[in-house]
Amino acid sequence: MSESQSFPIDKIRVPEKMRHALKPEIVEELAESILEVGQREAILVRREKDHFVLVEGLHRLEACKALGEGAIIGQLISAEAARQRDLPPAPIDPEREKMERLKKLRLEKEAAEKLANTSRAVSDADAATRRRAHAETTSRSKLTANSKPSRQERGSPPRTLSDWIKQQERSGGRY
């Protein structure tokens, strides 16, 4: 690239495609900044016959115009270098943007439903496990309550008639 130099603003032509990207609020901010500290960054222009074509720096150029400047600091680049520079991104098609948003929402909804179904399945499995455990515990306690006490639970066999009668009274038996 060449050195920065001063270019007359009235000799710089702005391509029509570039004009669509102009944002007045940015121009105002840049104009205030240029008043306070001066122009920090040079614009890029290329030569075309008797004038220059703006390659980069639309907002800086417009800010200098708004301030009433007659010239702006810039760098002259070749037409080939200007072609190689990235063009500003094309505006996004609103219909395509809407479709992308809908697709994203649909995918998020499907993921949420899948997560809810998985959570529900795990919850159902946990409930079934708890029901089985409760049923087993209940059936064991019923078996224990209905079964006859083992020989150890009954204690040793009665040695006397009086011990046998007491044992029968405790178990509710008749003698």
pLDDT at 112: 92
- Given a cut of 70, the residues of the chain with pLDDT beneath it are 1-2, 85-91, 139-155, 175
Do residues 54 and 13 lie in contact, with contact meaning Cβ atoms separated by under 8 Å? yes
Do residues 74 and 7 lie in contact, with contact meaning Cβ atoms separated by under 8 Å? yes
pLDDT at 172: 80
pLDDT at 152: 45
pLDDT at 158: 82
pLDDT at 58: 93
Q: In whole angstroms, what is the distance from residue 155 CA to residue 149 CA? A: 9
Q: In whole angstroms, what is the distance from residue 67 CA to residue 54 CA? A: 18
Q: In whole angstroms, what is the distance from residue 12 CA to residue 76 CA? A: 11
Q: pTM for the full model?
A: 0.47
